[in-house]
Every structure is written in structure tokens, then in C-alpha cells.
Amino acid sequence: MGAVYSKGKGVLSALPFQQEPRIKVGCGACGIAAGAQEVYDRIVGYVNEKKIPVAVEKTGCIGMCYQEPLVEFEGSDGTNVLLGRLTPEIVPSILDGYLKDKSYDPEQIVASSDYVTDEDSFFKKQYRVVLANCGRINPEEIEEYIAVDGYKGLSKAIRSMTPGEIVEEVTKSGLRGRGGAGFPTGLKWKIAAASKAAAFKPEVSKEEVKYLVCNADEGDPGAFMDRSVLESDPHAVIEGMIIGAYAIGAREGYIYCRAEYPLAIHRLRLAIEQAKTKGFLGERILGSPFSFDIRIKEGAGAFVCGEETALMASIEGNRGMPRLRPPFPAERGIWGKPTNINNVETYANVPRIILRGAGWYTGLGTDKSKGTKVFALAGKIRRGGLIEVPMGMTLKEIIFDIGGGIKEGKEFKAVQMGGPSGGCIPKGLLDTIIDYDSVTKTGAIMGSGGMVVMDEETCMVEIARYFLDFTQKESCGKCTFCRIGTKRMLEILEKITNGEGEESDIGRLEKLAANVKMGSLCGLGQTAPNPVLTTLRYFRHEYEAHIRDKKCPAMQCRGLITFRILPGSCVGCGLCLKNCPVHAITGERKQVHLIDQKLCIKCGLCRDSCKFSAIEVV
Amino acid sequence: MNAVDTSGAFSIIAKENTHDGSLIPILQKLQAHYGYLPKEILVLLAKRTGLPLAKILGAATFYAQFRFVPLGKNLIKVCHGTACHIGGAPKLTDYLKDHLGVIVGGTTKDGLFTLEQVACLGCCSLAPVMMINETAYGRLAQSKIAKIIKEYRERE
């Protein structure tokens, strides 16, 4: 790795409560997948063994997922050093250096308060509102959240503002729904607040109940913003929900979270308990007449439940199928009661807006899209991770300045935004700025914030097939065009990627796309054709190459490629033969091997295993 | 096949059947207890809650989480999210199918592993990713998978 570094003011700053030295291990679900638990165990073991005077704690995700597992050393003198790509094996030498004279292996430093490193550019263009505490504070300790101004927004709201003033402030801030559609949050709250239901009278009957829901059913493949926020700063989301409930007059709340996020659910449960103990949640919050409680509902694996009416059906214990709107949830929601639904990131913005004022928030972003947006960078990008930028930044800045460009020096091809509802934005549009309207103009959507970067080796027809396969499986089946139309579109795309495409297929895809969009009730069906439409718009030549020339320009589609062993390079080591799952490769040791094309399933495992680059794809 | 022990289900249903809309949490708890949703238990659930069996089955079959056949001892979930997909997840699934001798959704003969593919585990920056039971493994390659599977086998 070997980061270039020098002494100087780095990107990390001390935390306000930083006194005793401690070691923080980034233990978000992704950190754990990269081996953070083993690193944590080894650190704890070595600290105890050598009696090193330092506390060891788990935190959430600071966002530099590409450097996981990450460990931060917090000094009592206000210094912070973040080390990356740690393994249990090197823990003793790192801790020995720390114990001796707080020196660290420069190879491991990725960010610091006293060093400038070439990884700093990952942070420099970011502006962190929602992610401010992520990876910095211990998400399982409410005291740390309180020490970084946590629950101050709530206390300001309840002690010095009326519900109407809160709605007004959120409206003035220009905050729009971060789940993807971008509906103005203030307006949503205004409608929910006006919806008839007496809020917090002690004698409130069931007829007067309103609900407030946090949509944490982050289902887009390629998106992990909400998971990270819930794992790293759960109190921010809970505080935002309580403020929202006070503003609209809700007494009961739900967090609908994917069951695939067990750590997020665990930390939310803990945070709810702690908030209740401190009097921020439950009966008579902060001594006011306002009471509010939150329940967690675990999703059961249905993508469509991210759609609000399906989500409500699921909370009620039914099949998660969407229904017609109007009536909107604000009028008739869960069990027919007025219900307000916002996304995780939207709620996490709220405490900061209330505390710092709408004026501060409108200072960030563009004319019609205020504030910041969190993105999950993944795919063929060098620095994959979680980032937050002011609205108005260009895609180029995000992908190249923050994300460090493409892995292994390959060529950028497209960035996929908005998951299965979104589209692929090509190189020519990299100057597009991040705001709801500009992204929509490209044919993609802002979405919840997944950005999957693709390079020259990604086949755009295959990607369209991948998304249609996804939406086709996830369609709830209620609307004919969504249920059958997506299936037919998938079949055509499969035909094309198998090399059996016909000239008329593109036209049929376009016609079906229009019909599916028009004939579907909810967002899933209405946006399902987007991945096909955007790839047709920007990468039509790839479709044509598949259909007319029977070639896959990215060399990915199995029906259109052939693997061959280069006799000049093959040394006959037998590795490909050993790895071939269908035993299509033959050859004596130290003799040139041969692939039986009739048996070959084009999986490419032989090429991946060959150490001599002796297998080519044509 | 032995009859399913219903005592666990009785206490779960009694404990969880507290409010409207508790059907899905009950199904989740039952599956956590039995590893899947046995037919006898669903019939019992209908009797105890008064909900029509058709409604219970309607909900249970709608959600991908619920299973109606027993699982192997270890559940392997290969992530097929966008980042994992372009990072080579299909190849890894093929490799696992071959290595374990099962189809997706199938269980090995020794009952040790069930192979599934899932939409997205949300660890996209570590793609390709798989999860065995509650543990996620990132930055996978064939050789790494072989090593991990071997470790699980050796634990037996």
C-alpha cells in the first residue's frame, strides 16, 4: 500500500470528549466482513497481556471501506491516527510501537490529525452532516452521542418550538426525501400534521393515533448508506424521528429494517433502550406532555416493501403488495391512520437542521436540492466506501477526486445510480451535477445513493439483463405489465446476451419498456425499464454488436465468447485443468493444454487461475 | 420422519401474539426456532391465532426469508448485488455449486451446507461477498472460498 505522507495538519480532528487514550476498531458489518472482529480480538488480547493503558472500543464505519479493517488511535493530547488494512498478525508490532513512543508504521497510516497523506483527498471534498459521527463515536454509548451535541436538536424543538414552527423550519431548509424520490419533507410533514388526529391528549383513543415510520428497507443492490448510518450513528436517526413525531403529532413509531442487517437492528434496539432511560423517548419526553415510542419491525426479504404502501401492508402483517395512491399514507396509512414515512438519511438530517437552523442548511447545495447527499461508492472504483458531499458536486469529482478513479488503471465506462430503478450514466455526462433534477435528466435517478462504477470489462447489455432479472423476481405480481412485461424483457435480454438476438429485439424492448412504465401501479414497475432504457440510450452500439456482429465488446457474455489456450505461453502446469468445473481441459503435464469447446461453459475460472496469462478470450 | 416438537411453537405464539400485525414477527421467531416453517406448525399457528391458514401461507410464501424445507447445518448466502455481480459473483456461485455438488437452494448430502444466492448484503465495497450463517466474508476469490469451506468442514 504505502501511503505518501508528511507532517502537517491532517484531516482528522479530535473529538470534544477525547481525554483518555483509546483504540477504536471500525466494526460496521463491512469492517467485520473484512476481518475487523479478529483484529479487535487480537488488540484486546495483546493490550491485556502487555497491560497497555488504553481502552479498546468498537465503532461504526468511517467510510473508507477500501482500507478495512480500520483502527483509530485516539490520544489524550488530541491526536488521532487512523491505520488501515490491519491484520491480526501485525497487531503486536503496531501496539509495541504505540507503547514505546506512539510511533506507527507509515505504511499503515491512512489519515491522521498530524500527518498529511495522499489518502486525505478521500475526505477533502466531502462535507459530512449525516456521516459526521460515523466511525468517530461509539454507537453503543449514548453519552458519546450526547457529547457531540446529540439530542440538543430535540431539546430545542420540544422546549422552544411549536410543532408548527418545526414543520416551518424543515420546509425552509429545503430538505427533500433521501429515499430517492426527493419529495419535500416539510410539505410531507405539513400534510401529516394537518391530517385529523388529536395528538397528545392523555385520553387519546385508537381512532386518534398517528404513526411515524422510518423506512430502513434498503433494498437496492449496491446501496449500503442506511445500513452504515444505522450501525454507526443510530441515535441521530432516532432523534430525527422523535422530532418528526412531535411535529406531526404521532405517538407511535416504527423502524422497518431489513432482516439482512442484524447489526443495525441490534444497535437500534440498544439505542432505543438508552434513549428511553435518558428520557428522550417514551412517556412525557423531557418532561413535556409529549409521548412517543418506537418499535422495530424486521423485513422478511421483499424488495417491493421499500415502497411505502407495500411497507405499510407488511407492518400490518400482510403480503407486502402496494396499493393505489391516493389516499396517501398521510391521510390513510397503517390501519387506516395518518402515517408519515421518511427514509433513514432524511431523519438523520433533521436534528442538525433544527439545531443549526434552516439558514445553515440552505447554504449547502443547489437551488432546488439543498444540503448534502450520502453515496455508497462501489464497483470498479479504487476507493470504495461511504461518502457525503454537498449537492451540486459533479460526478467526475466524486468518482475521480474522492473515489480515486478506476481500479487497476482501467477505463471508466459508466456509473450506475439508483439501483434497479435507475440507470447507467456514461463518460460523456460525467460533468452532470448531483441534484435531483440534473440526475433525472440523464435518465437515471438520484435514488437512495448507490453508485456502482463500471469499467471497460462490464457489458452494458448484461447489466441491463442483471437488473431486469432482479426486478422480475421482485415484482409482487399485482400488475400484469410489471409481472409479465419484465419477464418478457428479461427473456429478450437473455436472448441477446446468448448471441441469439434479432434486429427487431431492440424495438420490442423499447415498446415493452413504455408499456411496463405506463401499466404499473408502484415505483417498482414504473422504473423497472430504466436500466434498459438508459443503456439503450447511451450504449446502443453494444446492443447492436451483440445482435448484428454476435460480439460482446466487453468480452463478458458467455454465448459470444470463446476461451483459448495460447500454445506459446502455456507451460502445462495443470492449474487450469484442475480448476475447470466441467473437466473441459485436457493435457499432459508440461504439455500444452487444450479446451474442449463443446464442454466449456465459459466460466473463465481457467483464465483467472492461469499464472502465465496463457488463456485468451475471443 | 419424526413428528415436529410443538412445545416451542406454543410458547412463541403465546408470547408474540400481542398486537395486530404480529404475524410476520411470529413467523420469523418460528423459523429461527425450527430452522424452517414446518407444515404442522403453520396449522397450529392458524388454530392458535384464529387467522385463516390461507392468510398465513399467503404471507409466508410472499417473503423470500421464509423456508418450508429444513436447512443444512450451515447456510451459505452468496451476494449477487450489483457490485458483487460485476465483481464476479456468478463465477463464485458456479464454483460453489461445483465444489459442494449442489444446485442453488440445495443442501449437500452430508447436510452440512445449504447454498443460496441473495440480492444484496450491503458490503458492496468488499465485493464479492458471501455470508455463512451470521459471518460475512469479503474480497473473495475461489481459493479463499475453498479455504473457508475447508475450515467449516474441519470444525465438524
CATH assignment at residue A536:
1.20.1440.230
SS3 category, A44 = helix
What is the pLDDT at residue A595? 96
On whether both A484 and A422 belong to a single domain, the answer is no
On whether both A169 and A306 belong to a single domain, the answer is yes
B127 contacts A34? CB cut-off 8 A: no
What is the pLDDT at residue B119? 86
Q: Is the pLDDT of residue A96 over 50?
A: yes
Q: Is residue B69 part of a domain?
A: no
Q: Is residue B84 part of a domain?
A: yes
**CA A201 from chain center: how many Å?**
39
On whether both B56 and B92 belong to a single domain, the answer is no
Predicted confidence band of residue B143 (pLDDT cuts 50, 70, 90): confident
Q: What is the pLDDT of residues B54-96, one digit of tens each?
A: 999 999 999 999 999 999 999 999 999 989 998 989 989 988 9
Percent of chain A with pLDDT over 70: 97
Q: Which residues pair with A577 in a beta bridge?
A: none
How far is the C-alpha of A434 from the C-alpha of A395, rounded, in Å?
7
Number of domains making up chain B:
2
- Enclosing domain of residue B51: 7-62
The three grid cell numbers given for residue A424, joined into one nine-digit string: 447507467
On whether both B84 and B147 belong to a single domain, the answer is yes
On whether both B103 and B137 belong to a single domain, the answer is yes
Question: What is the mean predicted confidence (pLDDT) over A247-266?
Answer: 94
On whether both A155 and A107 belong to a single domain, the answer is no
DSSP B48-77: HH---HHHHHHHHHHSTT--SS---SEEEE
Predicted confidence band of residue A3 (pLDDT cuts 50, 70, 90): low
Q: Which of residues 94-133 of B touch A (CB under 8 A)?
A: 94-95, 97-98, 118-127, 129
Q: Is residue B114 part of a domain?
A: yes
Q: Is the pLDDT of residue B1 over 70?
A: no
On whether both A388 and A482 belong to a single domain, the answer is no
- Chain A nearest CA to B77, separation (Å): 11
In degrees, rounded to 5, the angle at the alpha carbon of residue B116 between the alpha carbons of residues B115 and B118 is 155
Q: Is residue A128 part of a domain?
A: no
Question: What is the mean predicted confidence (pLDDT) over B106-115?
Answer: 95
Q: What is the pLDDT of residues A106-139, one digit of tens each?
A: 888 999 998 888 899 999 999 999 999 999 999 9
SS3 category, A610 = coil
Q: Is the pLDDT of residue A197 over 80?
A: no
Q: Is the pLDDT of residue A568 over 80?
A: yes
On whether both A610 and A470 belong to a single domain, the answer is no
Question: What is the mean predicted confidence (pLDDT) over A13-30?
Answer: 90
Q: What is the pLDDT of residues A356-383, one digit of tens each?
A: 999 999 999 999 999 999 999 999 999 9
B122 contacts A227? CB cut-off 8 A: yes
Q: Is the pLDDT of residue A204 over 60?
A: no
What is the pLDDT at residue B2? 58
Question: How far lies A219's CA from each of A64, A127, A470, A474, B82, in Å?
Answer: 22, 25, 11, 10, 12
- Residues 6 or more apart whose CB falls under 8 angstroms from that of A210 comprise A192, A195, A197, A199, A248, A249, A250, A251, A252, A337, A338, A339, A340
Among A401, A434, A455, residue at a domain's last position: A455
- Enclosing domain of residue A483: 460-549
Q: Is residue A38 part of a domain?
A: yes
In degrees, rounded to 5, the angle at the alpha carbon of residue A448 between the alpha carbons of residues A447 and A454 is 70
On whether both A111 and A81 belong to a single domain, the answer is yes
Lowest mean pLDDT: which of A347-361, A402-416, A570-584? A570-584
Q: Considering only alpha carbons, which residue of chain B is nearest residue A260?
A: B121
On whether both B54 and B112 belong to a single domain, the answer is no
Q: Is the pLDDT of residue A5 over 80?
A: no
Question: What is the mean predicted confidence (pLDDT) over A261-281?
Answer: 96
The three grid cell numbers given for residue A223, joined into one nine-digit string: 446501496
Q: Is residue B1 part of a domain?
A: no
Q: What is the pLDDT of residues B6-51, one digit of tens each?
A: 999 999 999 988 777 899 999 999 999 999 999 999 999 999 999 9
Question: What is the mean predicted confidence (pLDDT) over A47-59?
Answer: 94
How far is the C-alpha of A421 from the C-alpha of A64, rounded, in Å?
26
Best mutation target among B36, B86, B116, B134 (most A Cβ atoms within 10 Å) is B86
How far is the C-alpha of A79 from the C-alpha of B16, rounded, in Å?
49
Best mutation target among A382, A417, A466 (most B Cβ atoms within 10 Å) is A466
What is the pLDDT at residue A385? 94
On whether both B78 and B150 belong to a single domain, the answer is yes
On whether both B86 and B14 belong to a single domain, the answer is no
What is the pLDDT at residue A201? 47
Question: What is the mean predicted confidence (pLDDT) over A237-261?
Answer: 96
Q: Is the pLDDT of residue A4 over 70?
A: no
Helices (H), A195-326: 225-232, 234-248, 262-277, 308-315
Predicted confidence band of residue B156 (pLDDT cuts 50, 70, 90): confident
**CA A480 from chain center: how many Å?**
31
On whether both B26 and B49 belong to a single domain, the answer is yes
B82 contacts A419? CB cut-off 8 A: yes
On whether both B53 and B105 belong to a single domain, the answer is no
Predicted confidence band of residue A2 (pLDDT cuts 50, 70, 90): very low
What is the pLDDT at residue A198? 44
B81 contacts A222? CB cut-off 8 A: yes
Question: How far lies B130's CA from each of A216, B43, B136, in Å?
Answer: 22, 34, 6
Q: Model ipTM? A: 0.92
On whether both A443 and A493 belong to a single domain, the answer is no
**Chain B residues touching residue A452 (CB < 8 angstroms):** 82-83, 86, 124
- Dihedral Cα B30, B35, B36, B40, nearest 10 deg: -60
Centre a 10 Å sphere on the Cβ of residue A295 and count the other Cβ atoms it contains. Answer: 14
What is the reported pTM?
Answer: 0.94
Q: What is the CATH number of the domain that holds A298?
A: 3.40.50.11540
On whether both A408 and A487 belong to a single domain, the answer is no
Question: What is the mean predicted confidence (pLDDT) over A1-12?
Answer: 73
Predicted confidence band of residue A354 (pLDDT cuts 50, 70, 90): very high
**Chain A residues touching residue B97 (CB < 8 angstroms):** 581
On whether both A450 and A479 belong to a single domain, the answer is no
Q: Is residue A126 part of a domain?
A: no
On whether both A155 and A302 belong to a single domain, the answer is yes
- Residues 6 or more apart whose CB falls under 8 angstroms from that of A355 comprise A149, A152, A153, A156
Q: What is the mean pLDDT of chain A?
A: 93
On whether both A152 and A199 belong to a single domain, the answer is yes
How far is the C-alpha of A294 from the C-alpha of A258, rounded, in Å?
16
On whether both B137 and B79 belong to a single domain, the answer is yes
On whether both B16 and B58 belong to a single domain, the answer is yes
**Contact status, residue A578 vs residue B68, Cβ threshold 8 Å:** no
Among A524, A549, A574, residue at a domain's last position: A549
Predicted confidence band of residue A16 (pLDDT cuts 50, 70, 90): confident
Q: What is the CATH number of the domain that holds A427?
A: 3.10.20.600
Predicted confidence band of residue A30 (pLDDT cuts 50, 70, 90): confident
A34 contacts B138? CB cut-off 8 A: yes
How does strand A71-74 pair with strand B113-118?
unpaired
On whether both A537 and A572 belong to a single domain, the answer is no
Q: Is residue A237 part of a domain?
A: yes
Size of interface A-B (CB pairs under 8 A): 157
